[in-house]
Chain A
Amino acid sequence: MAEETILAVRDLHVEFQTNDGMVNAVKGIDLDVRRGETVAIVGESGSGKSQTTMAIMGLLASNGRARGSATYRGQELVGLPERQLNRIRGKKITMIFQEPMTSLDPLYRIGRQIAEPLRYHARMSGKAARARVIELLDLVGIPNPAERVDAYPHELSGGQRQRVMIAMALANDPDMLIADEPTTALDVTIQAQILALLADLQKKLGMAIVFITHDLGIVKRFADRVYVMRSGEVVETGDTQKLFDAPEHPYTQMLLAAEPTGRKDAVPSDAPILLEGRDVEVVFSTGGSWFGKANGEIRAVDGISVALRAGQTIGIVGESGSGKSTLGRALLRLMPGDGTFRFEGMDISHADKRAMRPLRKRLQLVFQDPFGSLSPRMTVGQVVTEGLKVHEPSLKAKERDRRAIEVLEEVGLDPSMRNRYPHEFSGGQRQRIAIARAMILKPQVVVLDEPTSALDRSVQKQIVDLLRDLQKAHGLSYLFISHDLAVVRAMADYIIVMRRGQIVEEGPTETIFDNPAQPYTQALMAAAIDGTPFRRTDIEN
């Protein structure tokens, strides 16, 4: 690699002045980006990977300060006055962000926003800028660019908004594009499209890309070189291939091993059916106004049949809006839905709240968001034992406490922490608390709604292991709802692929993963599973 280095970072520190004193987010890192190459910065949340680039771009929060050096083609960026920095950012170095939904100004048309860097850097006239914007929108694959140029951000989907951001980033033919988790907030198939687009554009335009991500799958397929960051330091760096084949640092090894592994065996075909829903339908009416008349309906779940057997884990896979969470709630009778529902052979289709109450203990639900789903004003002990008070009111306080200790130990938490409040725990620990809250009731069926999605990969793996251990120990049946195919593959023995409220395909896990029959499933697999190169034509629909 004889290409010249365009960005050289030396001994960069980033510090934040907080109420708890100085926080060192980045502790003296070195980093180089050469012309036209793709560099990935990998790390889990809090590793300092984003703050590194924020410091380079002069975008640190007002309580943040950068020290050290970051030179772009010989020009020192750290401490550069805003006016001079503005000659580089948006022109030579551009950036796209993790949050496509909020990174564009909701009050202005996208055409105007993409044109702004053209008008202020390239001094283009309004008319010329508009023509260039339409060209750019076409380049990033927005259909009908001449029309969409006048759309407002809220009229576009998340994927389209990210394309708009990319168009803005490309406007001035930059030397270097910093992409900060650009696909994390997007569905897998959209993710793949955006990544394919970036790879494609890089080939055409020859800019360098700095790719910040926590997703090693993306790194492997995308980057030439990798920097692995942890707690503000670069722990390992090297060519992607070498790093993946022979990681040296234990943390890198741990990250690489963090992809959930293992498979679950299918249950015998004569295992009794515990929870069953036939022809389930859930319809929402939309846009009902003050003066009546709903102007439409959304069939969130549109005629789906599911039968969950004892000891089985059914993975329900689909992208956002596919109706998978709604199906889970409808099966638990937590949401009104049409169809026939049975639990242990008993018809619960018309069971009201009161009739369901004795069954609730055996049908539990664990949510995605470990931050929002635990009451911040209750101690962990109270959170975990609350269900016992309802379902086993005869238990004495001492007995409840004993059960809490038992279940906390079982989910791998120190029971002496049960008098603390949820905010004192990490995301992974909170998810363990949420699981303990369900497990203390000794349920038979647990619906797990994206239980690992908000967690770092290494923590995800631990939660997956925990859920599998609990299943083995107690003979539980799971309905595992997720958009994350790697996790589903490790958890489920049967998979249902959903799209727009309907089943696209279902079958045993190996069949779905190894021989997907439907094009949509194939696209999902191609988008999510390691080792498949990006092909832009894969997923366009």
Chain B
Amino acid sequence: MTAANREDIDHGGRLLLFVTGEAPRSRRARTNLRNVLKARGGDPDQVVEIDLLRQPERAIRHRMFATPALLRTDAAGTESVLYGDLSDSVRLHRFLDDLPDEET
């Protein structure tokens, strides 16, 4: 995954997708996010994916105990979390709408 070598970079203004390996929900979330970002003309690569099975300490650091989950940090450092496999595209769109520095 592209996420593997980008997980330690500063994620300000970016999206972190927390998954647990290849669990069905994690796979669905990955696909759903990719599709919505594409539909919005966004760059799917802006998403940093973190596999908590491989890096459980990141679950602790980010307080991410339910997965899949999408973590968004705005420029001010305020975090928002969207839990679930992102199958609710209306919610996902709204979550992404609020992103102030969304790239085009």
Do A and B interact with each other, yes or no?
Answer: no
